[in-house]
Amino acid sequence: MGPAGRENLRLLGELDGYDFEEHFAASTAPTLLARLQNDILDRVARSEPDPTLACDGSLQVLACPGIRRELEVVAAEIWRCLRTTPDLRCNDIAVIVPESRKDAYLSQVSAVFAESRDLPHHVVDLPLAGGHRLGEAAHMLLDLPFSSFSRKELVPLVTHPSLMARFPEARPRTGCASSTS
């Protein structure tokens, strides 16, 4: 919502005595990327390119024949940035893919980044349960309040490897233990 949203939040904050602190400031860097960011922030539409801004490498658009090649180029660019920027770390970099093509990208990103000299990465948009033991345990825990707390529902949860890992000395027993009174 840009400036209109900021002004609305500022006015609402004044009703409560909230001290509004501006976090989205226009960049003063004379780069093509900074200009684009400022135009988005200020909602400026340009029909003609600005002749004063040269292609400075801060913004690149690359045509690739397929998703795999696109990911290879991204991996190479990440390595280049890591080599040329001393304070940059892998966890400072995010690769965002279009939601409509998410499955196609996510199915290849780990393999491509591994082939690119084991580029460290972490995929955060994978389905929670699909083959992941921790996700499976999380689903079981979330379903627990809506269950009847029967043995059939509780035993798989309490003996789940993800939960059992917290208590290495515990061992699940098979069968029922008989109690004597």
What range does the domain containing 145 cover?
Answer: 133-164
Query: How far is residue 153's CA from residue 140's CA, in Å, rounded to a whole number?
Result: 9
Tell me, yes or no, whether 43 lies in a domain.
yes
Q: Is 110 contained in some domain?
A: yes
Inter-helix orientation angle 2-16/32-42, to 10°: 60
Considering the domain boundaries, does residue 140 fall inside one?
yes
One domain, residues 92 and 55:
no
In a shared domain, residues 80 and 52? no
Q: Is the pLDDT assigned to residue 129 strictly greater than 60?
A: no
Residue 12: which pLDDT band, with cuts at 50, 70 and 90? confident
46 and 31 in a common domain? yes
Residue 155 in domain:
yes
Q: From the CB of residue 162, how many other CB atoms can be counted at a distance below 10 Å?
A: 16
With cut-offs at 50, 70 and 90, classify the pLDDT of residue 179: very low
Pick from 143, 169, 146: which is nearest to 156 by CA? 143
Contact 157, 133 (CB under 8 A): no
Average pLDDT across the chain, whole number: 79
Same structural domain for residues 79 and 54? Answer: no
Q: What are the tens digits of pLDDT across the range 29-71?
A: 778 888 888 888 888 888 887 777 677 777 878 788 999 999 9
Instruction: Report the pLDDT value the prediction gives residue 178, as an integer from 0 to 100.
Output: 47
Q: Are 32 and 58 in contact (CB under 8 A)?
A: yes
- Number of structural domains (the chain) is 3
CA distance 132 to 129: 5
Residue 9 maps to a domain: yes
